[in-house]
Structure formats: C-alpha cells, structure tokens
Structure 1
Amino acid sequence: MSANLSKWAPWNWLRREQEARPLPVRRGGKEVTPLWRVHDEIDRVFDDFFRGFGLPSLWSMEDWPRLESPAILRPQIDISESKSGYEITVEVPGVEQNDLELSVHDGVLTIRGEKRQDKREESDRYHRIERSYGAFQRELNLPSDADADRIEASFRNGVVRIKVPRRADAQSSGRRIPITSA
C-alpha cells in the first residue's frame, strides 16, 4: 500500500513557472550574457534531476536570498489564502497599467507585462544604469478549487491585486460516510 503524500504538501503555485525558462531582459540596452545562459542551463539540469525524484531543487536560486541575476526582470508576488479565496499581490513598479496583461487558461494564471525604458537623448551622458527594462511573465498554477471565471484584478501605485474566489462546489474536499448495519 503506497501513501499519497501529495495531500500533505502545500499547493505549488509556481510549478509551471519553475519548469519554464526566464525571459532575458535588457539592462541599459545590453542583452543577457552567454555566460549567464550557460549558468542557467546547468542549474536547470540539476533542477530536472532532483525534480525527477520528487525532491525540491537544491540549486534553485528561488530559495537563496537575492542571488538571482539582476538581468532577470521578475516581479515579486505574495499569495494569501482565506475561506473565500486567494489574493495574489504583484509588485510592478515603473510599469503602466496598459502595459500589463492577465489571462487564465487551463488552470494557469499568466501575468505579463513590459517595463518600458524612458526615451533617452543622444546627448545624455549616463554615469550608471541599474534599472532593468523589458518584458516579464509570471505563471501561477491555480488550485483545483479556484473559480477562474470570477477572477478580478485591480491596479494601484505599481501593485496589481488579483482576487481568485473559491468555487462554491469545491469548498469541501471530502465528506463523512455513514456506516449502516448489514
């Protein structure tokens, strides 16, 4: 008899995103270096190896404090849960509302956007460029009780709030079965 341990593990909102490649982002007009791509590919090989055994990644930079490449534009997210549903908060400073797109397909919520670079004058002399520009994408796997048809989103001060209600019919994942005398 094998035990089903999946019900004890927390929902992996980022499963699809962890399996995808990050989008390269321009910093000051330069592309991501080939050395970073090799580093990223080696990390992916180790991640795939450990994931094949059902283990968490030992090499994933996701778990390391702020070691991710500054050339990867990746908005930070918070996910909270209540009895009525889930709330996802996405920080997108410097991104305009009309440069954001939210969509849901096959149980995956996709958050896309682009942080556009300010127009530069040829005569401007920059001493330092630290801000990143370019496209980004986050993909979140919705739990089975999420009601994708009623998702709502709002934008204010560079923060997107996404409310994902629970389906009414999915509130209970189990029931008590009465035993009768035969």
Structure 2
Amino acid sequence: MSSLIKRQRGTELATRFSRMDRVFEEWMRSLPMRRPFGLGWDWPGDDLIRVDEYRDSDTEVIRAELPGIDPEKDVELTVSDGMLRISAERRVEEKTQDKGYLRHELRYGGMTRTLPLPEGVSESDISATYKDGILEIRVPVPERTETEPKKIDIKRG
C-alpha cells in the first residue's frame, strides 16, 4: 500500500487547527512520561515514528525508522495542505523459552508521524524507498526566488 495520495482541502481555519492538533498530539506522545490518570500511552513514543531530517543540496531527506514493516502492505504516505503524513501498522511476535516456561510477547498497532513540507513543494516530485527497516523520503525543494517587496499605496478614507 506504499502510495502517495493527495487529499482534498477543507476550510482553511479547520485545516490550521487540525494541523496544530496533529503536531501537538505527536509532541505529547514523544514526552518521556506516562499520561495522567491511566489514559493510554503506557509506553510513550511506541506509536510515534522516529525520523531524521536533513538537507542534501536541493533535496530534503526524511529517514523514518520502520523495522519489521512490509512497506507495500503496511505503510501509507499522504500529502495534505503542506503536510506529509506517514502511517504504518506493525505486528511483532517474540517467543522466549526460559526455565520451562514459554512466554509470548506481542507488539502491534498503528504508528503515525506528520511533518511540514517546505513551501512550494510539488507533491508529484516526492519519492520514497524502503531498505533495511528505513523508509527514506526525498522531497525536492524548489529554489526560492527573492522578489522585491511591492509597495501598496494607502488612501485616506
């Protein structure tokens, strides 16, 4: 399911709040503490995709850590309103035999990360590859041309 989907824009105000909510939620999940009152996130950060971001000449490179994931089935990349969203599903099963006991440890669930894209990026130029547990997304950044500020005349009312 490794595909890039452009979603339709909603109202601008709702989009801004939605964008802020996603960024704030992901920031909260990354904090090294438990949520109060036993409200989920017992293992903070498990559902947050860890990334490295850097600039390689005129390309922004995002490397997301996704070990044990089948990128064709379990990863979805979407672009909406200048934001890149990485969604993935993981299911890991570990069996350990110790002193005659057999223990099963399962870890599964969805993970997401939403990142802002540079201004002027064309969604059709974004590419992604997966190798050795790392999803690499390359975003060509267009050159910014500096324009002279345009003076606007002010009229007395």
2:69 is matched with 95
2:122 is matched with 147
1:77 is matched with 51
C-alpha displacement at 1:33, in angstroms?
8.3
Pairing partner for 1:20 from 22, 25, 48: 25
1:37 is matched with 39
Say if 1:91 and 1:159, in contact at 8 Å, map to a contact too.
yes
The separation in 2 between residues aligned to 1:162 and 1:77, in whole angstroms, is 10
C-alpha displacement at 1:174, in angstroms?
1.5
The separation in 1 between residues aligned to 2:20 and 2:56, in whole angstroms, is 21
Pairing partner for 2:110 from 123, 132, 135: 135
Name the aligned partner's letter for residue 20 of structure 1: E
SS of match in other structure, 1:136: strand
Say if 2:91 and 2:107, in contact at 8 Å, map to a contact too.
no
C-alpha displacement at 1:125, in angstroms?
2.8
1:174 is matched with 146
Does the C-alpha gap of structure 1 residues 20 and 126 become closer, same or farther in structure 2, counting only changes over 3 Å? same
Kindly indicate which of the two structures has a greater share of residues assigned to strand: 2
The separation in 1 between residues aligned to 2:83 and 2:124, in whole angstroms, is 12
The separation in 2 between residues aligned to 1:35 and 1:94, in whole angstroms, is 32
Does the C-alpha gap of structure 1 residues 133 and 157 become closer, same or farther in structure 2, counting only changes over 3 Å? same
The separation in 1 between residues aligned to 2:24 and 2:113, in whole angstroms, is 12
Say if 1:88 and 1:161, in contact at 8 Å, map to a contact too.
yes
Moved over 6 A (4+): none
> After superposition, where does 1:108-127 map in structure 2 within 5 Å?
108-118=83-93, 125-126=102-103
State the identity as a percent. Answer: 25
**What value does the CA root-mean-square deviation take over the aligned residues?**
3.5
Name the aligned partner's letter for residue 18 of structure 1: V
Aligned length: 120
The separation in 2 between residues aligned to 1:82 and 1:16, in whole angstroms, is 30
Point out where structure 2 has 5 or more consecutive residues left out of the alignment.
1-18, 96-100, 150-157
The separation in 2 between residues aligned to 1:20 and 1:125, in whole angstroms, is 37
C-alpha displacement at 1:112, in angstroms?
0.5
Q: Residues 97-119 of structure 1: CA distance to partner in whole angstroms, max 9, x if unpaired?
A: 12111111111111001101449
